């Protein structure tokens, strides 16, 4: 078996496109997910199915996870029938967003089994995963990065952000905090503009030609909010989790986060009214109700 035979655990909304790119790049792939239908679609494309995380780790030297929450990643890595019980795995790559605390804890647990842990979260969304244009924030030694580079390059541009476990996670949380903040403040600004009588299309055009341009005004608001599609594919629950993790890291470092705290408050309000599975762009809806207007549509 090839050293670059890869195992992939978590072939859902984000992990699915990542795993598909590995198949398209002709990597021998073994997959596991609690959703059998998701696994079957990969088997039809030539992947080998496995019955557990431990089974994946007994077949592959490199095992990747892309899972929704830190606790799930922790359980898959170190829990019963987890990656730590695998017989062949040498390198574990987590592409989820778990925060530095979990990344360090998992790395310590796997080290006792002589398994190297790499945190390599990504940014760029489902579209970026499909196109292979993600930013991959890897934290590991240069030697380990050289071994896994052929795999990570399939997903996008690699940024070697550090050597210690958790540094990639910290970088990812900073990115997602800024993404959440851009969405929140841009929604507030455009609600004010529409209430004042301005056209929402022109508002974003002017902002994007000036110094206020950001990821929300350049993409999410014109693509998802104004046409009322709300379909970035990233839920309020997941975004709230990422902002919470970032606040926890800042608190551990003794750094107050005034703006981030306000953003999380607005996320909590929106989750209460729209539901945790609502799209992140629906953060605009309580603002619209308070202003008694609607952007676009």
Query: What are the residue numbers of the active site?
Result: 172
15 Cβ contact partners less than 8 Å away, ≥ 6 residues apart: 8, 9, 33, 65, 66, 67, 95
How far from 31 is each of 15, 45, 59, 152, 173, CA to CA, in Å?
A: 10, 11, 10, 17, 27
How far from 255 is each of 71, 107, 130, 184, 236, CA to CA, in Å?
A: 25, 25, 36, 22, 25
Residue 278 DSSP class:
S
Q: What are the b/e assignments for 62-101, b being 16+ CB within 10 Å?
A: bbbbbbbebebbbebbbbeebbbbbeebbbbbbbbbbbbe
Chain-centre distance for alpha carbon 205: 28
Nearest to 260 by CA among 279, 246, 271: 246
Distance CA 192, CA 89 (A): 54
Q: Are strands 134-139 and 122-123 parallel, antiparallel or unpaired?
A: antiparallel
């Amino acid at each position: 078996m090839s050293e670059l035979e890869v195992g992939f655990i978590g072939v859902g909304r984000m992990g699915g496109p990542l795993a598909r790119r590995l198949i398209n790049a002709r990597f021998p792939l073994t997959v596991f997910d609690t959703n059998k239908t998701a696994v079957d679609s990969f088997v039809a494309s030539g992947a080998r199915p496995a019955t557990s995380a431990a089974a994946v780790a007994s077949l592959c030297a490199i095992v990747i996870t892309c899972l929704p929450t830190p606790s799930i990643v922790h359980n898959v890595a170190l829990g019963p029938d987890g990656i730590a019980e695998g017989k062949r795995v040498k390198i574990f790559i987590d592409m989820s967003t778990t925060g530095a605390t979990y990344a360090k804890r998992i790395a310590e647990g796997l080290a006792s089994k002589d398994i190297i842990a790499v945190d390599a979260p990504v940014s760029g969304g489902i579209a970026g995963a499909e196109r292979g244009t993600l930013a991959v924030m890897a934290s590991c030694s240069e030697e380990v990065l050289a071994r896994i580079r052929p795999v990570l390059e399939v997903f996008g541009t690699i940024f070697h952000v550090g050597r210690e476990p958790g540094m990639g996670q910290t970088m990812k949380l900073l990115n997602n905090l800024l993404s959440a903040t851009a969405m929140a403040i841009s929604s507030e600004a455009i609600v004010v503009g529409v209430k004042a009588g301005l056209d929402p299309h022109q508002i974003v055009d002017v902002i994007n030609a000036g110094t206020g341009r950001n990821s929300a005004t350049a993409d999410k608001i014109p693509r998802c909010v104004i046409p009322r599609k709300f379909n970035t594919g990233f839920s309020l629950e997941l975004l709230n989790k990422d902002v919470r993790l970032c606040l926890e890291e800042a608190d551990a470092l003794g750094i107050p986060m005034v703006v981030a705290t306000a953003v999380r408050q607005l996320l909590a309000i929106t989750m209460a009214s729209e539901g945790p599975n609502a799209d992140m762009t629906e953060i605009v809806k309580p603002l619209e109700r308070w202003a008694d207007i609607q952007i676009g549509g």
